[in-house]
Amino acid sequence: MKGLHTMKKSRLLPLFLLLLAVVLLPHVSAAGEEIRGYLKGSGWQYLQMGEYPYEEDGTPAPVLWRILSVDDGQILVLTEYVVDQKQIIFETDQKIIEKHAFRRISSYPESDLYPWLNTEGMDLMFGQDPIRAAVIEVPELGLLYPLPDTDLLNDQYGFSRNPWGEELNAHPDRQAVCTPYAKAKGLYVHHDNRKSPYWCVAIKGASDYKFGLVGYNGHISWGAYTNSKVAGLRLAVRLDRNKVRITGGSGTKDDPFILEAAEPTEIVTEVSGQEETFPTPGADSPSNPEDSSIADHVSGAISDSAPTEAPVPEEDTVPEWNQVVSGEEPASSAEPDTVLISLVGDCSIGDAIGSIKRLNSYHSVIDREGYAWPFSLVKKYLAEDDLTVANLEVVFTERTGHKDIKYPLRGAPDHVNVLLEGSIEAVNTVNNHCMDYRNEGYEDSLAVLDEAGIGHFGSVNYAYANNAHDDLLVREIRGIRFGFVGMTYPQSRDLDPLIERIRKLKEEEGCDIVIVSLHWGRETHLTNTSSQAVFARQLIDGGADVIYGHHPHVLQPMVFYKDKPILFSTGNFTFGTMSQVDPHTGIFRLTYRKDGDRVLLSSIEVIPCRTSGPDDYRPFELTDEAERKKTWQILSPRSAPYACEAAPDDFRESGIVRFDDNGKVIRTAEP
């Protein structure tokens, strides 16, 4: 009997092991055991995950990735395609860098490419795909990045160590397939093999400012590609192999592994280094946003509230263009004989047309949280002033026909209620996106603003009869008349027309103060250009009292010319598509008072704030004193432009600039 029992056990053991293998098989896949790195003689394996615009018209398709290594619980993969083209702004000539002709970049994270890849690039590639949670953030590189050149020359990844080649196909292992979409963007493609040997494939190092391109002959070169748009992107990510599993495919190029998240969960898109460092407080988060966790942020960002109903303005409260707003003045915390004006930066109350239906889009957040949501954390400041002015970088229209650009921005017409709920009383409407939906879309937006009773101003195409818009705005508050004029990308030819509009506001409309709103400057650059400083001085000499700038998506220094403030860039405030370029922003509060026949600027106070990224979009006030001072330091240039002055030294500590009884900046502290 004992022998029979032993025999039965021996027969059952293989069956047991087979069943055990079947049970454990999903776990093995989840751990990525089938996946390997480059193997000499066998080559690469491939996997498929995410999607990206592929067809010429931008239709997305799954992305094919080459597996370079599987090591230390991480999978390093590289796109087999040139996925996109992105302008890179940097400078390799040390003499030019020292002269600050361009924004100095001393490392890859300071480049224009870094924030784009870690926000919009990640959104385009992975959207709400749960596999996004498996992407590992690499120090100094981010989530989605060009490989450092040391990786591209690593023979363990299957590449040659020699960066040079005599012929086009000298290093075919470093060539990428150019998609129809990338080809339509103008990337170089070899006509024989549809390969693209000309793309931004690497950075020299995370602590360097040089980007590497694979040249026409197959070698990696490091050149001056300032303002170049020829740089196609071939990108890499690292994955946590314990957070992914294989659900199909054999790993070949024709039959790649299909990779999915091991445990699908709701994905939080604020995964970039900036967002983890600066999480936005939710409704139940700690008062100090720097101390709140991502989990707290998510729980606070999602509520069961439905959108509030749009308030219906009375007919007689709708202002006429260029007319003084009559009726009851808004409540204000200002002194009885003063007027408080707030200026904020770029507000894109909408999305690029291809992102509107995404789960983390601006539209979806408004549908979920209500119209009051975007400005809810700063409402106390915007409601207590006499007038809040913003740059509206979106058109309110239902049209879908747009110009052939990558990010045509629009918001549903009902999004005007976001401005109403946020106590935004006036907007600049002219910027580089105001004509995304052509003249008809812009006129739709103006009509929506008029119906809601929100003042607007801006001159666009003013020299053309068919689609000219030349709107000035006048508001009178407690006997002080304010005039507003706006223009996009002003050139030297626009100087005289702008000065003529200033003259009209002062002499014909009787304005005491004229604020000139300019959509200008270099995107993501932390400083203004010398030509901007010259143009601002000329406008002030022509009668302007404030230069109110926006467009770079980052804060730029505040200076004074003849004691008049020049705000070169007020940064982002709430933005659907470029929400994480730089989180620093602020509310610029200008207090004016009447002194007999004169109107004087009494003070400027900057409330330091930060922007929020996808799935939130709310600016919030900074409470940490060190971070507040950092914002004020950003606004204080090391050296002011010619004939201009920086804010007094104590502005870095208080965020306030005060003026004396003659309207002069007070530069010495009172004893």
Considering only CA atoms, which of 224, 234, 187 is closest in space to residue 92? 224
The model's confidence at residue 580, banded by pLDDT at 50, 70 and 90, is low
Average pLDDT of the chain? 78
In a domain, 601, yes or no: yes
**Tokens 């207090």 appear where?**
591
pLDDT of residue 200: 53
Considering only CA atoms, which of 41, 45, 34 is closest in space to residue 68? 45
Over residues 144-167, the mean pLDDT reads 79
Digit-coded pLDDT (tens) for 432-470 = 999 999 999 999 999 999 999 999 999 998 887 778 899
Whether residue 269 is predicted with pLDDT greater than 80 in this model: the reply is: no
Listed in sequence order, the DSSP H helices in 75-192 are 94-98, 113-116, 122-126, 149-152, 180-184
DSSP string, 22-46: HHHHHHHHHTTTT----BTTTB-EE
The model's confidence at residue 285, banded by pLDDT at 50, 70 and 90, is very low
Over residues 576-600, the mean pLDDT reads 86
pLDDT of residue 409: 93
Over residues 536-557, the mean pLDDT reads 96
In a domain, 568, yes or no: yes
In the structure encoding, which two tokens stand for residue 28, read together?
A: 């093995």
Minimum mean pLDDT among 231-240, 490-499, 640-649: which range?
231-240
In a domain, 646, yes or no: yes
Minimum mean pLDDT among 79-83, 371-375, 661-665: which range?
79-83
**Tokens 């770079």 appear where?**
552
Assess contact for 612 and 579: CB atoms under 8 A: yes
Considering only CA atoms, which of 487, 486, 488, 504 is closest in space to residue 426? 486
State how far the Cα of 552 lies from the Cα of 573, in Å rounded to an integer.
Answer: 12
Ranges assigned E (strand) in 55-100: 60-71, 74-79, 81-82, 84-85
Residue 397: which region, alpha, beta or left (left: phi > 0; alpha: psi -120 to 50)? beta
In the structure encoding, which two tokens stand for residue 131, read together?
A: 């596999």
Side-chain-side CA neighbours of 172 within 13 Å: the count stands at 5
pLDDT of residue 302: 24
Q: Are residues 187 and 328 in the same domain?
A: no
Assess contact for 60 and 53: CB atoms under 8 A: yes
State how far the Cα of 407 lies from the Cα of 634, in Å rounded to an integer.
Answer: 29
Q: Are residues 202 and 340 in the same domain?
A: no
Whether residue 11 is predicted with pLDDT greater than 70 in this model: the reply is: no
Minimum mean pLDDT among 117-126, 199-208, 289-298: which range?
289-298
State how far the Cα of 519 lies from the Cα of 369, in Å rounded to an integer.
Answer: 30
Distances (CA, A) of 30 to 35, 75, 132: 10, 12, 15
Assess contact for 524 and 555: CB atoms under 8 A: no
Q: Are residues 436 and 532 in the same domain?
A: yes
User: Please, which residues have CB within 8 angstroms of residue 292's CB and are 6 or more apart in sequence?
Assistant: 279, 280, 281, 282, 285, 286, 300
What CATH number should be reported for the domain holding residue 368? 3.60.21.10
Assess contact for 645 and 533: CB atoms under 8 A: no
Question: Containing domain of residue 461, as a range?
Answer: 311-658
Whether residue 425 is predicted with pLDDT greater than 60 in this model: the reply is: yes
In a domain, 10, yes or no: no
Q: Are residues 236 and 344 in the same domain?
A: no
Assess contact for 161 and 155: CB atoms under 8 A: yes
Considering its fold, how many domains does the chain have in total? 2
Distances (CA, A) of 396 to 450, 478, 615, 668: 12, 32, 20, 47
pLDDT of residue 17: 46
In a domain, 16, yes or no: no
In the structure encoding, which two tokens stand for residue 654, read together?
A: 């208080």
Q: Are residues 315 and 231 in the same domain?
A: no
Assess contact for 375 and 621: CB atoms under 8 A: no
pTM value surpassing 0.85? no
State how far the Cα of 104 lies from the Cα of 524, in Å rounded to an integer.
Answer: 12
Find the helix or strand (DSSP H, E) in which 588 lies.
Answer: strand 584-595
Q: Are residues 476 and 610 in the same domain?
A: yes
In the structure encoding, which two tokens stand for residue 23, read together?
A: 């049970």
Whether residue 7 is predicted with pLDDT greater than 80 in this model: the reply is: no
Considering only CA atoms, which of 57, 200, 17, 175 is closest in space to residue 117? 200
Whether residue 320 is predicted with pLDDT greater than 70 in this model: the reply is: no
Q: How far apart are the two ends of the chain, measured CA to CA in Å?
A: 107
Q: Are residues 163 and 231 in the same domain?
A: yes
Q: Of 200, 233, 261, which marks where a domain is finished? A: 261
Considering only CA atoms, which of 338, 408, 431 is closest in space to residue 576? 408
Higher pLDDT, 54 or 292: 54
Q: Are residues 204 and 340 in the same domain?
A: no
Minimum mean pLDDT among 61-65, 98-102, 406-410, 486-490: which range?
98-102
Number of residues that make up the chain = 671
In a domain, 293, yes or no: no
Whether residue 381 is predicted with pLDDT greater than 90 in this model: the reply is: yes
Partners of 236 in the β-ladder: 78, 145
Q: Of 261, 291, 322, which marks where a domain is finished? A: 261
Assess contact for 269 and 360: CB atoms under 8 A: yes
For residue 7, how far is the Cα from the chain centroid? 70
Higher pLDDT, 606 or 404: 606
Give the rounded percent of residues in the chain with a pLDDT score beyond 70: 71
Considering only CA atoms, which of 344, 113, 326 is closest in space to residue 206? 113
In the structure encoding, which two tokens stand for residue 451, read together?
A: 């119906």
| 380 CB-contact burial (10 Å; exposed 0-12 / middle 13-18 / buried 19+) | exposed
pLDDT of residue 618: 95
Q: Are residues 80 and 149 in the same domain?
A: yes
DSSP 8-state class, residue 283: T
Q: Of 261, 278, 293, which marks where a domain is finished? A: 261
pLDDT of residue 202: 61
pLDDT of residue 467: 82
In the structure encoding, which two tokens stand for residue 308, read together?
A: 């509030």
Orientation of helix 495-503 relative to helix 530-541, angle to 10°: 30
Q: Are residues 319 and 249 in the same domain?
A: no
State how far the Cα of 181 lies from the Cα of 376, in Å rounded to an integer.
Answer: 40
In a domain, 304, yes or no: no
Q: Are residues 349 and 241 in the same domain?
A: no
In a domain, 46, yes or no: yes
Q: Are residues 392 and 535 in the same domain?
A: yes
Considering only CA atoms, which of 121, 110, 38, 105 is closest in space to residue 75? 38
